[in-house]
Structures are given as structure tokens and as C-alpha cells.
Structure 1
Amino acid sequence: MQVKPKQRRRHSAAFKADVLVACAEPGASIAAVALAFKLNDNLVHQWRRGRGAPKALGVPSLGIAEAPPRFIELTVASAMLPAPAPPASPPSPTSETIALEFKYGTLGASVTWPVSAAADCAARLREVLR
């Protein structure tokens, strides 16, 4: 008995466009969309990145690399963090500072803190990273 290898399925540009539109819905999960269309979620991720995407239909690639960078302001509830103690003396413009940069994909945040208040910086970071 011979076992025939599975042949690759070919998907039309219209089918790919339908899948990508379903992925663009608010709150849509790639895994759920792939399951609904009986596809592997890795294949759908490839289509979203532009590999095999139907360009003839005008469906834009939804890849992260093409998203324009934007600033997202984060506010921290005052109940979560204790109020910082006022510094003994204001830091001079030439004093040393702690500079932290956090990046996640295209998003980023920068924090500068005076070295004289390093303990306060560490305490804040512990609270935020919990």
C-alpha cells in the first residue's frame, strides 16, 4: 500500500482577501479566524505580513513593520504608586541621570531619573513591572 503525500492547497486571491478582512475586525483573533476558515494560523500570519497576500484586490498588508510609529500615553493610577518624596534639592541640569528605554515592536517609552533618587526609581520600576 502506497501513501500519497498531501498536495498543497491553492487559495484564490478572493479567499485570502476574505481571511484578511476577517482578521482586521476589532477583537478578532488570528487563531480563531484561521480555525473558522480551516487554515493553519501560521499561514494566516504569513498572509498578514504580505507573503502571498492578494495585492491585485487592493488588500493592504497588515504587517507590524508597515504600521506607523505612534506615541501612546500611559497613566498610572495614584492609588497604585505612592507619591514620590520631594527631593532634598532640585537636580542641577548638569547632574547625572538614569536613562531607561523600553521597546516592544514599534512602541517605545523613555524615562529619565536623577541618579540622586536612584532608590525611588527602583521602587517605581518594581511597582510598574508587577
Structure 2
Amino acid sequence: MSTNERNGHVYIMEESAEVKPTRRRRHSAEFKAQAIKACMQPGVSIAAVALHYRLNANLLRRWVATEEETQATAQALGAMATPGAEFVPLSLPAAQTSTATQDIVIELRRGATMVTIRWPYAAASECARWLQGWLR
């Protein structure tokens, strides 16, 4: 045993005292879940739960924050999930083979005057050129 005196204080140290390094503890998922669940109870402080489970309060606070973030992400993904689209069959009327459906129909209005132009569907490119020139 050795003694030191500094500033009026006497320090006693046992020479045979061996300091053992502390090992990092590993906690099971069940233990973490139990501690987090205890923290989530209304009116319970994280510090009190940490003392009860012999944990560092900052470590437990980090576990709780991670769990809350995981729950928030799961809720957001659940809200974004849309139900699968269903196929809705539609019945369309039979195709008409009259000449009216084979023409391009353009209706022009100016004031009270309306002009209807019918252009053969086979000459659609010529109709497009004419319409571009007319719209300039």
C-alpha cells in the first residue's frame, strides 16, 4: 500500500489492485424490445428505465429514437401503399365503317360563323401541312 499527500489530501492506493478492462455488453433483441416498451409507457422517464435495467440513459434514448423512426417509416410506407388496381372491362360500340369516320373533321369558328372542313383520312399529312399554313 502506498500513500501520497497532495494539497492537504492523503491518497491511499493498494498496489495489488488490478484494474480489469470492462467488456462491452451485448444485449439481445428481446431485452432491447422490453426496455424500449417500458420507455414508451406514458409518464415513464427514460432515465428511470435505464436505472432499472442498469443501462446508460443515452444508449437507451438512442434505442427508443431508432424504434420511433422505424415505426414512423412503417406508417408512412403503409399510408403510401395503394390497393392493387382492378381490371374493369369496358364494352365499346362496334366500329362504324361509314365515310364520316374515315374523314378528318375540322371545325373553325369566328364570331357567329362556323366552318366545317372534311379531309380524307388517307391524306392526313396534306391536311396537317394545310392546317399549319392556315394557323400562321
The TM-score with structure 2 as length reference comes to 0.37
Higher share of residues assigned helix: 2
Q: Larger relative CO (CA 8 A, sep 6+): 1 or 2?
A: 1
Q: Greater CA radius of gyration, 1 or 2?
A: 2
Higher share of residues assigned strand: 2
The TM-score with structure 1 as length reference comes to 0.39
